[in-house]
Amino acid sequence: MKKPSFLLLLLALPLLLAGVDYGKRENWVILEDGETKASYDLFYIYPTLVSDKKKPYMDWSDPKTAAKTLGFVTAQTKGIFGGDARVFAPYVRQLEYSRIRSAVKGSGTAPSEDMAKGCEDTLEAFLYYLKHYNNGRPFVLLGHSQGSVDLYYVLRVSPVFSGESSFVAAYLPGLRVTKQEWEKDFRGKALSPAKGERDIRCVIFWNTQNKEAANSLFSGKDALCINPLNWTTEEIPADASLNKGAFFYDYRNKKSRRKPHFCGAVVSREKGALIVKLPSMSKYDAKGFMGKGVFHMNDIWFFAENIHCNALTRVNEWKKEKASSPQGK
């Protein structure tokens, strides 16, 4: 990977050295810390949203960057989950687009040195959330792409996930994790890849493409994958009728739209991917932006309402378990 120039690193140095103070509201995209009727907390990390060759890391002090991020994050959290979730979404120092593409190639599940800042910020923000806002409420993690990398790091290094906690599930689409990598990273921890629609303390993966797509950065043999329409890891097709609704957001005009029964899907173990019947070179794979037939940018949008409903299902399972435990009585 080409290293950032000395000048670019010098420009970014104050932010890199100072770290991020999550006691300041300006370092949160959304911070819903008041009284709430929401069923659970959603701790969310956005995907790569910035392309800027002059700055290696996201700079949310820039008003345009902050406005774009707020619109996107609001759509992917409040737009999809509505009032069911209380949202906590910190700003983190993610790599910008051209650099993240290079950084993730062949990196496995361990973040590259350049990605470490975003991962460390995510951990700091998460620990701050637990200490100051969680208060034993059930919580769900949601990320995508670089956001999933950041949250996977938190799952891997935080002691919270080794014992008792109010953790319910982590939705981490857009991240390739093989069975071998999972076993190495989580041996001895009370976590498992999701196997169905009601598991708790589980982690949920998929990467969306069509049959024409070659294996991308996001898929490959032995990659963990579940179908968010029928919640099976088996190669059982789910018809579009099971798609409760896609949700799309256009950050250029700040408009969103819902589309029920948008597409069906089936797991392909050979490709380690979730296969959908959609044409290549369309607006959904951004005309080859991520590769022909690779729908990476829509991993969440295509299945938005199914994710929303499933999060409630898993939270209710967590609540049932807690109510039946000696501590919950």
- Amino acid at the residue 250: D
Other C-beta atoms closer than 10 Å to the C-beta of 199 total 18
For the record, the structure tokens of 179 come out as 């069975």
Q: How far is CA 197 from CA 143, 189, 257, 314, 315, in A?
A: 18, 21, 26, 7, 11
Nearest to 307 by CA among 84, 45, 31: 84
Q: For 72-112, how does the pLDDT look when each residue is reduced to its tens digit (9 = 90+)?
A: 999 999 999 999 999 999 999 999 988 887 666 655 576 77
Q: What is the pLDDT of residue 283?
A: 87
Residue pLDDT, tens place only, 141-191: 999 999 999 999 999 999 888 777 899 999 999 999 999 999 999 988 889
pLDDT beyond 60 at 11: no
Q: Worst-scoring range by mean pLDDT, 29-33, 39-43, 102-106? A: 102-106
Q: Which residues pair with 192 in a beta bridge?
A: 202
Burial of 187 (0-12, 13-18, 19+ CB in 10 A): exposed
What is the number of H-type helices and E-type strands within the chain?
8, 12
Q: What is the mean pLDDT of residues 242-264?
A: 94
Does the pTM of the predicted model rise above 0.85?
yes
Mean pLDDT of the chain: 90
Residue 11 token pair: 């420009």
What residue type is 84 in one-letter code?
A: D
Average pLDDT over residues 14-32: 84
Sign for the CA dihedral angle at 85, 87, 92, 95 comes to positive
Taking residue 230's Cβ as centre, other Cβ atoms within 10 Å add up to: 19
Please tell me the predicted confidence (pLDDT) of residue 327. Answer: 66
Please tell me the distance from the alpha carbon of residue 195 to that of residue 200, in angstroms, as a whole number: 10
Residue 1: its pLDDT value, please?
35
What's the confidence (pLDDT) of residue 328?
58
d(C-alpha 228, C-alpha 104), whole Å:
25
**Beta partners for residue 256, in sequence order:** 249
For the stretch 177-219, pLDDT in tens is 999 999 999 988 889 999 999 999 999 999 999 999 987 788 8
Mean pLDDT, residues 255-283: 95
Q: What is the average pLDDT across 283-288?
A: 78
Of 163, 109, 171, 162, whose CA–CA distance to 139 is shortest?
171
How far apart (Å, rounded) are the C-alpha atoms in residues 162 and 183? 15
